[in-house]
């Protein structure tokens, strides 16, 4: 423990704030993507990006706090991401068969 490892070095050089900031930027980009795109594939990708930024955030907290809980939590985020993507893509394929487009606004029979 008394040796200065490369990890500790790096952690000292890059403060936690920078990780947090990176995650927030990624999250916001994902958010923008969800709002911006009407191609469903892109919307799904953006959602994935948001989940990923959360993963990164959890891991960096976990490492800086020296607590494995955060990393265990990331597993569950991955589980959910995988399940959600599977359902979403299946739904996408089904809808594509019905309407032959992936435009998010193709389905607007129902008004707000």
Partner 1 sequence: MTAILFYILSAVCIISSILMIFHKNAMYSVLYLLICFFSVAGLFVMLNAQFLSIVHVIVYAGAIMVLFLYVIMFLNMSTPVTIRKSKLIMVIACFTGAMVCFVLTTALWATDFGSDPAIVDQNIGMASILGKYLFKEFLIPFEVSSILFLSAMVGVVIFNKKDYKDE
Partner 2 sequence: MNTIILLAVTGIFSMFSGIFRQKQLALPAILIAFILALGMLTFGWIGNYDDILNNMLIFDNLAINFSLVIIFISIFIFIMSQYYYSDDIEHLTDLFALFVFSIIGGILLVSFQNLTMLFLGTEILSIPLYILAASNRRNLASNEAGLKYYLMGSFATCFLLLGITLIYGAYGSFDLTDIHTALATQGISSLFLTGVVLILCSFIFKLSAVPFHFWAPDVYHGAPTVLTAFVSTVVKVAVMGALLRFMAFIGNYNSEKWVILFMLVSVATMIFGTIVSIKQKNFKRLLAYSGMANVGFVLIAILTAGEGSSGYILYNLTAYSIASILAFTIYSTIKSQTGIDTIKGISGLVTHNKLLATGLLVSMLSFAGIPPLAGFFGKYFIIFSAVKAGDTWLAVIAILTSVVAAYNYLRISAYVVNDNNSIPVLKITTRYRIFIILCIALIIGGGILPDQLFGLLH
The answer to whether the Cα torsion of 35, 41, 46, 48 is positive or negative is: positive
Which two tokens mark 1?
């423990």
Which structure tokens are listed for 108?
Answer: 């607007």
Nearest distance from C-beta of residue 97 to partner 2, angstroms: 9
**What x-and-dash track marks residues 52-91 binding partner 1 by CB under 8 A?**
x--xx--xx-xxxxxxxx-xx-xxx-xxxxxxxxxx-xxx
Residues near partner 2 (CB under 8 A): 20, 27, 30-31, 34, 40, 43, 47, 50-51, 53-54, 57-58, 61, 65, 67, 69-70, 73, 76-77, 80, 83-84, 87-88, 91, 94-95, 98-99, 104, 107-112
Q: Based on the shown chain and the rule CB under 8 A, indicate whether residue 112 belongs to the binding site for partner 1.
A: no
Going by C-alpha positions, the residue among 50, 74, 48 that lies closest to residue 61 is 74
* Torsion of Cα atoms, 7 then 13 then 16 then 17, to 10°: -160
Residue 44 as a binder of partner 1 (CB under 8 A): the answer is yes
């Amino acid at each position: 423990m008394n040796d200065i490892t490369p990890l500790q070095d790096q952690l000292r050089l890059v403060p936690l704030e920078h990780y947090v900031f990176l995650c927030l930027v990624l999250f916001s980009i994902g958010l923008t993507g969800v709002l911006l795109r009407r191609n469903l594939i892109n919307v799904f990708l953006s959602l994935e990006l948001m989940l990923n930024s959360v993963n990164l955030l959890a891991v960096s907290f976990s490492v800086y706090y020296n607590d494995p809980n955060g990393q265990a939590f990331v597993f569950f985020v991955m589980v959910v991401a995988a399940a959600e993507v599977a359902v979403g893509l299946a739904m996408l394929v089904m809808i594509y068969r019905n309407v032959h487009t992936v435009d998010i606004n193709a389905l607007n029979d129902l008004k707000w």
